[in-house]
Structure 1
Amino acid sequence: MIVFVVDPLTGNMRPEAPGDTKKDPNVYKYELQCHLGGGDFDTVCLGYQLECVNGPEGVDGIPVTWLKAPVGVPNPAWTYHSGPTCLYDARPEDLLPRIAAQIQRQFESLPISAGTVVAQPSPNTLRGAETNFYADASEQQFDVTMLGQKVHVVATPVQYTWNYGDGTVFGPQPSMGGPLPQDRWGEKTRTSHVYADTGDFQVVLTTSFQGTYSVNNGPPLPIPGQGQFSAPPQTISVWRSITRNYADDCNQNPQGQGCPGMASSR
């Protein structure tokens, strides 16, 4: 662990140097702004944490909270001192915390495919009938460079949200659905939907991915929040079905209504 001290000239925190004369009764360290300990982060906090960009010499920093403890106390209880604020002058060995602070933003910018929407029946279905929808999504892996380090990211689909295009939204929920054999089309499934009106509807699938990352072939670490990615809209045309009963037997009266070649009354 790197211990920081208050620079008497600037009032800023800096890493403790050998031979420092301690006039301050405290020593200091930082924690990432939204870090809860271990590999856990406060996902609500991540939504409004500081943006530490364009620091000295154009270098990005990390959002931190400063903690303090009395000098010379073994295994001290660290307490809040100040922050959150931006740290731009971390030493090279602090690359892991810097990567941890930026990994969520990097994760959300990856070209992760949300998968595709499959409908049964498709592209046409019937009003008032169950239309089965399911997602075709899979785990994806990416290799990126962050702060000069090789970072391997694994994105795994964990939740799905269906917008059926008629104002109905289902999810987020863990089921991606699945295909039905054709002789069972029309059955209700976990992700099926019944349209009350005819027309063309744009069905949009949003897939939530949970990620892990490893730095320079190190152990996999959890990415704190989920990334949400939407699939291209799938058009489904909803038709109506009409059933008519006729009194004529077409064998006896080929000219009867509903017989082949004869117009039907509306």
Structure 2
Amino acid sequence: MEVNTRIEENKAGSIVYGPRVCVDEDGNVVPGAGQESFDLNDVAGLITVPPRLHADNGGRGIRHAHTNFYTDAIYILQNSTLNGEPALIRATPIEYHWDYGDGTTRTTEVAGSSQSEFNVETATSHQYEETGTYTVTLSTVYMGEYSLDGGQTWIPIDGTITRESDPLQADIFRTVTRNVADDCVENPSAWGCGAPGEDSDPAG
């Protein structure tokens, strides 16, 4: 392991010399090695892939019904060293900022989860007032902590890290009622027996 001095550029464009860091054989910075404490750079290094944004029913929903969204964000734990001693560092999602694409936003402390039934209200679901196609976005906020005693005590790292998920498209339809000869058990391919939105009129 090699110890280098990290060179950084401040907002004014000036070069400043940061703390000494250790790099492995591939030139990657080893979190905590050669440092007096962990910082947000170490936390950011744990989150290599942003959380993925999901929606039930492939993002298809019905106007005035609950369209459910959720994310797979989880906490990330890594073994490391600090001043040559074993350490643990972790990044934990603490807030989720949802933008449903229709001017409505919401902040939750839960990631949400998939629902087996349609039109179930959850902490992360949303009711659209109009039909159309909406772009839904999610920002996940992480806090960082480290432990020097095998995880019995966790020390917070100042600041937070925000990661943006890839946008998701939600297609919202209106319902149409028709009289049919068979129910969906007798004729699964009959009109109205598809997933929400398949036999709905996308027009306003």
TM-score (norm 1): 0.48
The Cα offsets for residues 98-150 of structure 1, whole Å up to 9 and x where unpaired, read as x45xx124434553444222212323211221111122211113467899998
Identity of aligned pairs, percent?
Answer: 29
SS in structure 2 at match of 1:122? helix
Separation in 1, partners of 2:134, 2:83: 45
Q: Which residue of 2 aligns with 1:231?
A: 165
The higher radius of gyration belongs to 1
C-alpha distance in 1, partners of 2:69/2:59? 12
Q: What residue is the counterpart of 1:187 in the other structure?
A: 120
| Structure with the higher helix share, 1 or 2 | 1
Instruction: Rate the CA distance shift 1:233–1:201 in 2: closer, same or farther, 3 A.
Output: same
Determine whether 1:153 maps to 2:99: no
Distance 1:202 1:109, change over 3 A: farther
Q: Match of 1:131?
A: 67
* CA distance in structure 1 between the aligned counterparts of 2:59 and 2:35, rounded to whole angstroms: 51
Residues 60-113 of structure 1 deviation map (CA, whole Å, 9 limit, x = unaligned): 26xxxxxxxxxxxxxxxxxxxxxxxxxxxxxxxx941xx45xx12443455344
Superposition pairs for residues 4-23 of structure 1, below 5 Å?
none
Other-structure match for 1:12: none
Contact 2:60–2:171 (CA under 8 A) maintained in structure 1: yes
Q: 1:207: Cα distance to partner?
A: 1.2
- Count of matched residue positions in the alignment of Structure 1 and Structure 2: 157
User: How far does the alpha carbon of each residue in 1:198-237 deviate from its partner, in whole angstroms, 9 at most, with x for none?
Assistant: 222121121111211357x897531122211111111111
Q: In structure 2, what residue type is equivalent to 1:127?
A: R
SS in 1 for 2:18: coil
Equivalent pair of 2:43/2:90 in contact (CA under 8 Å): no
Q: Displacement of 1:176 after TM fit?
A: 1.6
* Structure 2 residue 18 is matched with structure 1 residue 60: yes
Residue 131 of structure 2, aligned match among 198, 204, 207? 198
Report the 3-state secondary structure (helix = DSSP H, G, I; strand = E; otherwise coil) of the residue aligned with 1:226.
strand
Aligned to 2:51: 115
Q: Does 1:212 pair with 2:145?
A: yes
- The higher relative CO (CA closer than 8 Å, separation ≥ 6) is in 2
SS in structure 2 opposite 1:175? coil
Contact 2:47 2:76 in 1 (8 A): no
Q: How does 1:18-37 map to 2 (within 5 A)?
A: none
Question: Tell me, what secondary structure is at the counterpart of 2:95?
Answer: strand
| Unaligned residue ranges in structure 1 (runs of 5+) | 1-49, 62-93, 251-259, 261-266
In structure 2, stretches of 5+ residues that fail to align are 1-10, 20-33, 182-190, 192-204
**Contact 1:119 1:131 survives alignment (8 Å):** yes
Asked if the contact 1:142–1:153 (Cα under 8 Å) also holds between the matched residues in 2, the reply is yes
Equivalent in 163, 173, 176 of residue 111 of structure 2: 176
Following the alignment from structure 1 to structure 2, what is the Cα–Cα distance between the partners of residues 203 and 151?
38
- Equivalent position SS for 1:225: strand
Instruction: Answer yes or no: is the 8 Å Cα contact 1:130–1:192 preserved in 2.
Output: yes
The CA RMSD measured in Å over matched residues stands at: 3.7
Q: 2: distance between equivalents of 1:230 and 1:143?
A: 25
Q: Is the 8 A contact 1:112 1:229 kept in 2?
A: no
